[in-house]
Structure 1
Amino acid sequence: MKNIVLIGMPGAGKSTIGIILAKVLGYNFLDSDLLIQEQEQCLLRDIIEKHGLDGFIAVENQVNRDIRTTNTVIATGGSIIYGTEAINHLRDIGIVVYIKLSLETIDDRLGNIKQRGVVFKEGQTLKSLYEERCPLYEKYAHIIIDGEGLNTEELMEKIAEEVRHYS
C-alpha cells in the first residue's frame, strides 16, 4: 500500500489526525518534523535561528526526500511545499492529502507560532503566509479535504474515506 502524506498549514491537525488515521488503517506513523529534529539534534525553531529560513528548508527538503517507507501515514511540516525534491518524492511514494482550513481557524488554533518552528520571512504575517502557501498545497495535493467545522474523528473518517476512493 502507498503511504498517506498529510500537508497543510501549521495548526491544521496533521500530526494529531495522522496518529489516529494510522491506528484506524493499521499503518505506521511518521512525523517528518520529528525526523528533522532527530537528525539535527535540536528543535525546529533552533534550526531556523541557527541556519536561517533557507537553511531550514534545505534540511527539511533533504530529510523528506530521503524518507523510504510504505504503509505509513506521514505528517509533514507546513513548509514542505517549498522543497520541490521532497514534495515530488512524497507524491511518488504516497497519496498527498491537503487538510484545508480557513485562516480564521488556523489563527484560533495557533498559540505562540514562533515556538512551533514555523517558517516566516522577515515581516511576514500569518495571513500573507496563508495566502502564499494555500495555492502550493492545492498544487501538490492528490486529495483536498475541507476540514472546516469537523472534529478530529470526523476529519479522520473523511480522509480515510477519500483515500479509499482514490486508491
Structure 2
Amino acid sequence: MENIVLIGMPGSGKSTVGVLLAKALGYSFVDVDLIICKEAGKPLQKILDNEGLDYFLHLEGKIGAELKYDKTVIATGGSMVLSQNAMENLKKNGKVVFIDVDLDEIKRRVTNIKTRGIAFGKGETLDDVYRVRYPLYKKYADITVSLELSSIETTVDAIVEKLDLEKQN
C-alpha cells in the first residue's frame, strides 16, 4: 500500500495521530517538521525568527517536493498545503488525509502561537491562517476525518476504516 499523508491545521493532532496510525498499519512514521529542523539545524520557531516566513515556506515546500517514502505515515507541517509542488509529490504515492478540527478547538489547543513554529505573517492570527488554508486542505484531501473532541484512538480507527473502504472500491 502507499503512504498516508496527514494534513491539517497546527494543533489538529497530525503528529500524535500519525504515530498511532503507523503502529496500527505496520507503517513507518515521518514528521516533516522534524526533517525541516534537522535540515536547518534549528527549531521551527528559530527558522521563522531568524530566516523569515518566505525562507521557511521555501524550505518546507522543497522538502515536501523531494520526499520519497513507501508504506509510511507522513505528518506534514500545517503550511505544507501552501506548496503545490510538495502536495503533488505527496499525492503521487499516497492517500492524503485531512484531519479537520474546527477553529475554536484549534484555538483551545494552540496556546503557544508565538513559540510553536507556526508559519504565519506579521499581524496574522489563527483565524487568518485557517481562512487561507482550509480550502487547500479540502482541495488536496482524498479522505477527511472530522474531529469533534473525539479521542486520538477514535480518530485513528476512523482513518483506518476510511482507508479500508477506499481499498474495497
TM-score range, shorter chain: over 0.9
Paired residue secondary structure (2:5) = strand
Aligned partner of 1:52 in structure 2 is 52
Mapped partners of 2:114, 2:136: distance in 1: 22
> CA–CA distance in 1 between the matches of 2:149 and 2:39?
36
Following TM superposition, by how much is the alpha carbon of 1:120 offset from its aligned partner in structure 2, in angstroms?
1.1
Q: Residue in 2 aligned with 1:18? A: 18
Where does residue 135 of structure 2 map in the other structure? 135
Which aligned pairs between 1:89-108 and structure 2 lie closer than 5 A?
A: 89-108=89-108
TM-superposed deviation, 1:88? 0.8
- Higher alpha-carbon deviation: 7-16 or 59-68: 59-68
Structure 1: distance between partners of 2:161 and 2:77: 23
* Alpha-carbon distance, 1:85 to partner: 0.7
Partner of 1:6: helix, strand, or coil? strand
- Structure 1 SS opposite 2:92: helix
Q: Which runs of 5+ in 2 are unaligned?
A: none
Mapped to 2, the partners of 1:166 and 1:149 lie a distance apart of: 25
**Identical columns (%):** 43
Deviation at 1:121, TM superposition (A): 1.1
Q: Deviation at 1:149?
A: 2.4
Structure 1 residue runs without a partner (length 5+): none
Q: TM-score, normalised by structure 2?
A: 0.96
Look up the match of 1:35.
Answer: 35
Aligned-partner SS, 1:114: coil
1:152 aligns to 2:149 (yes or no): no
State how 1:66-77 maps to structure 2 within 5 Å: 66-77=66-77
TM-score (norm 1): 0.97
Counterpart of 2:76 in structure 1: which amino acid? T
Deviations 1:67-92 (A, max 9, x none): 11100000000000111111110011
